[in-house]
């Protein structure tokens, strides 16, 4: 079933990781996809792999000119815009009292201002279309605090918050807005050392109920559902795709756990 047949989507951060997985899945489900990223060689390679249903555009999400260009390219090549996926993001680890102003501005500029500029420039095309969907990729760290990730956590709480405000503002125009909150994901950001999943799981995911890292395709499938007409009455929601990470504190060594979990 082509769940996005006839739809046109822009996906920021589409050159790799969750963005590339989302672009591939959307195209497989019938959508035309415009991938935006600063990683031009990787982005063009993903678009070429997808074929005629894809277009790559250089996109620094902090640049209003780049956003204007990618929205114009989408509407000119494919005739309209139905879906915006704000996926591009960066992470910064470090103690709060050692963070530079430049580091904080970079994280907030890409993760928050970049999302806001994407919405600003995509919404006129979505309104002209009579309806649409905006999917903002936040994080489990937009649902909780996390030691050593102050700027990133602040940015992902902001993405969660603006999503709810956008849902109110754009709902009367038939535009749904939802935030997706991935847990640890096996991407360049989530597994920068490209370690084997078994190694990462044993070290970092024993306290996650599903006891494993997520795969980018699993986040893409949640984004697909939200972007499809199957989710036509979902807006302003936050959807955790995290293996149960945010369900609460999990202690695998406690008695009465299912065999094999400890």
pLDDT in the model for residue 260:
34
Q: How many CB atoms lie within 10 A of CB 102?
A: 9
SS3 of 170-234: the string is HHHHCEEEEEEEECCECCCCCCCCCCCHHHHHHHHCCCCCCCCCECHHHHHHHHHHHHCHHHCCC
Are 191 and 227 in contact, with CB atoms under 8 Å apart?
Answer: no
pLDDT in the model for residue 206:
81
CA distance 179 to 81: 19
pLDDT in the model for residue 248:
76
CA distance 53 to 48: 9
CA distance 180 to 103: 24
pLDDT in the model for residue 253:
55
- What pLDDT, in 10s, does the model give residues 20-60? 999 999 999 999 999 999 999 999 999 999 999 999 999 99
**What is the model's pTM?**
0.91
Q: What percent of the chain has pLDDT over 90?
A: 77
Q: Is the dihedral of CA 100, 103, 104, 106 positive or negative?
A: positive
| Helix (H), strand (E) at residue 159 | helix 150-170
pLDDT in the model for residue 186:
79
pLDDT in the model for residue 146:
86
Residue 145 burial (C-beta neighbours within 10 Å; 0-12, 13-18, 19+): exposed
pLDDT in the model for residue 147:
81
CA distance 262 to 260: 6
Q: Which residues are annotated as catalytic?
A: 152
Domain 8-247, second-level architecture = 3-Layer(aba) Sandwich (3.40)
CA distance 202 to 130: 48
Residue ranges in the chain modelled with pLDDT below 70 = 1, 190, 197, 201-202, 249-262
Per-domain boundaries in the chain: 8-247
- What pLDDT, in 10s, does the model give residues 192-225? 777 776 777 667 778 888 888 889 999 999 999 9
pLDDT in the model for residue 202:
63
């Amino acid at each position: 079933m082509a769940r996005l047949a006839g739809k046109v989507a822009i996906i920021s951060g589409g050159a790799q990781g969750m963005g590339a997985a989302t672009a591939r899945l959307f195209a497989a489900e019938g959508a035309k996809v415009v991938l935006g990223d600063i990683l031009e060689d990787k982005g063009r390679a993903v678009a070429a792999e997808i074929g005629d249903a894809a277009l790559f555009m250089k996109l620094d999400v902090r640049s209003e000119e780049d956003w204007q260009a990618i929205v114009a390219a989408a509407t000119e090549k494919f005739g309209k815009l139905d879906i915006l996926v704000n996926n591009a993001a960066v992470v910064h680890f470090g103690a709060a009292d050692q963070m530079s102003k430049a580091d904080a501005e970079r994280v907030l500029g890409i993760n928050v201002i970049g999302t806001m500029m994407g919405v600003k420039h995509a919404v006129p095309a979505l309104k002209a279309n009579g309806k649409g969907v905006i999917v903002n990729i936040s994080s489990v760290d937009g649902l909780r605090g996390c030691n050593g990730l102050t700027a990133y956590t602040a940015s992902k709480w902001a993405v969660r918050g603006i999503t709810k405000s956008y849902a109110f503002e754009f709902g009367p125009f038939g535009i749904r807005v939802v935030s997706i909150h991935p847990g640890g994901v096996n991407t360049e950001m989530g597994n920068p050392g490209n370690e084997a999943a078994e190694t990462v799981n044993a070290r970092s995911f024993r306290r996650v109920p599903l006891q494993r890292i997520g795969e980018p395709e699993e986040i893409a499938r949640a984004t697909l559902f939200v972007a499809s007409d199957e989710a036509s009455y979902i807006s302003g929601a936050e959807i955790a795709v995290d293996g149960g990470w945010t369900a609460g504190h999990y202690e695998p060594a406690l008695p009465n756990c299912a065999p094999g979990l400890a």
